[in-house]
A and B are shown apart, each in its own frame.
Chain A
Amino acid sequence: MDLLGIALAIFGAAMAAGWAGAGSAIGVGIAGESGAGVMTEDPGKFGLVLLLQALPGTQGIYGLLIAFFAILKVGLLGGGAEVTVNVWQGLAIFFACLPIAVGGYYSAIAQGKTSAASIQMIAKRPEETGKAVILPAMVETYAVLSLLMSIILLNGIKL
């Protein structure tokens, strides 16, 4: 087993889980601050605020998913047969993890800001809840595209 290849694959998995998770933490934090502001004045909006605050959290889950795929592929999980990963294959896995790492990080922050604005929107116009959920959900599209790309690239790597 080529240790450098494995190391690169693990680095890719760590990037996917770490950056997407960090983006989600920032995004959920931004939305949470707005949520706390609204609930200080109107605690009855907890349900709606929670939904909007949770939206930027999905990127962290996507990153974790790709990290699992990556380490499963190199045989570090699942107790399967030992897999040989050369440097180029390790590098390929690393690059395959990048779309969700980068896309997840930035989209989670952007979604957090949109969620915060939507939370402010329902504070003033509770009747517009549907629209308030759609706006941050639009940002999710690009996180899903990043996830999809990472899955396709990982599946395309032959070990």
Chain B
Amino acid sequence: MAPAEQYGYAVARLRAMSGRLLEEALLLRVLECEDLESAIKVLGETVYSGWLMELKGIGEFDKAIEAELLHVFEEVHKFVPDAALVELCRLPYDFHNVKVLVKGTLLVREGGERRFDLLTKLGNIPVDDLITAMETEDYRLLPFGLHRLVPGCFTVWEQSRDVLELEKLLDEGLFEAMRLGAEASGVESAVLWVRARIDAENVRSLLRLKRMNVETSAAAGYLHAGGLISKDRLLSVFTEPPESWAKLLAFADVSSILSGVQDGADLNATVVGLEKVLDEYVGAVLESSKYDAFAPGNVMSFLWKKELETKNIRIALVSVSNNTDRTLARGLFRHVG
């Protein structure tokens, strides 16, 4: 980890950049638009204007959102003393790309087609390098443990023919790589952030599995190690009704988000609402960084807020585009302070 004093420039610049994060008032203006064209026009008043102008059609708004996020990742990567922090935030996108390519390869074997359009440039590994590695089956140079994981995925597929098994393997690999990356960076808040992300993912999985009435023994395979709450502890509450989870996990910070689970019968609505609360929970572990002018946690906090901002824009634009319930969309907006 670079000495804290080196973060003076980076944190000050990020504070200035955070002034350009979209406020809820603007998102509400987007949401109030009658059609996608007017919504894009409102978004054109923001930092997204440059990217929106490059679009061939308004339906491609996701490309503009991705371009802005990529620009921020690359810009922040240039000036932060520990570039590993940015790499940590981009890691989930690498694993997303790997999932797309592995599944694509399996589809091709079954006579289907690859979906290159689902790949994102937001990862650390250039998309072209990843495609080349997959097509030549030369995984030796893939970082983040992917050189072992990718061949492992094909082996698992041959044995189980179950896509969920691949997902589990790659998710486990992602969280392992994130944990190792955070520990190697030496930034305490980064380690805490990764552990909170693992907790959030575990809670999300548990509620989904509960909704699907999965057996406890089967649920164990979907939980990841390394969170603030142990897998065993989480499994012990799985057999209980969801409304009692908050009380059973009262010792952990994550219990605050579970307190919203009141009605065990309405798990469908809970799971949708929980996405927002879990995102805010992950961001909250970095909140204390804002009181320190030289804390590396400010880097991750800003990048996480930027990711939440892009989620908010997607929610607003998809809601306008599909003409869905605006109140529901508004309720899903993440707080970007």
Contacts and interface: CB of A to CB of B under 8 A. Distances in A.
A120 B12 contact: yes
Interface in A49-83: none
Contact of A40 (B8, B13, B18): B13
Interface stretch (A84-92, A95-103, A111-119): A111-119
Contact of B5 (A30, A36, A38): A30
B180 interface: no
A34 interface: yes
B58 interface: no
A33 interface: yes
Which of A35, A41, A113 is the most central at the interface, judged by chain B CB atoms within 10 Å of its CB?
A41
Contacts of B10: 37
Interface in B3-18: 5, 8-18
B17 A34 contact: no
Given A116-B293, A117-B293, A30 B16 contact: no
Interface size class of A (residues with CB under 8 A): 10 to 19
Which of B8, B9, B19 is the most central at the interface, judged by chain A CB atoms within 10 Å of its CB?
B8
Given A33-B12, A37-B12, A38-B16, 7 more contacts: A30-B5, A38-B13, A40-B13, A41-B19, A113-B294, A116-B294, A120-B15
B102 to A, nearest CB: 40
A124 interface: yes
Interface string A25-36: 000001001111
Which 4 pairs of residues, A with B, have the shortest CB-CB distance? A37-B12, A41-B16, A37-B13, A34-B12
Q: Is the interface of B mostly helix, strand, loop or mixed?
A: helix
Given A33-B8, A123-B19, A124-B19, A41 B293 contact: no
Given A113-B293, A116-B293, A117-B293, A34 B18 contact: no
Contacts of B19: 41-42, 123-124
Nearest to A121: B15
A42 B19 CA distance: 10
A41 B9 contact: no
Contacts of A40: 13, 16
B13 to A, nearest CB: 4
Interface of B: 5, 8-19, 79, 293-294
B12 A38 contact: yes
Which of A34, A40, A113, A116 is the most central at the interface, judged by chain B CB atoms within 10 Å of its CB?
A34
A113 B7 CA distance: 12
B12 A35 contact: yes
5 contacts: A37-B10, A37-B79, A38-B13, A42-B16, A116-B293
Given A120-B293, A124-B19, A30 B8 contact: yes
Contact of B8 (A42, A116, A124): A116
A41 B79 CA distance: 13
Given A30-B8, A33-B8, A38 B293 contact: no
Contacts of A120: 11-12, 15, 293
Contacts of A42: 16, 19
A107 B13 CA distance: 25
Contacts of B11: 34, 37, 120
Contacts of B8: 30, 33-34, 37, 116
Nearest to B11: A120
A64 B12 CA distance: 31
Given A123-B16, A123-B19, A124-B15, A37 B293 contact: no
B7 to A, nearest CB: 9
Contacts of B16: 37-38, 40-42, 123-124
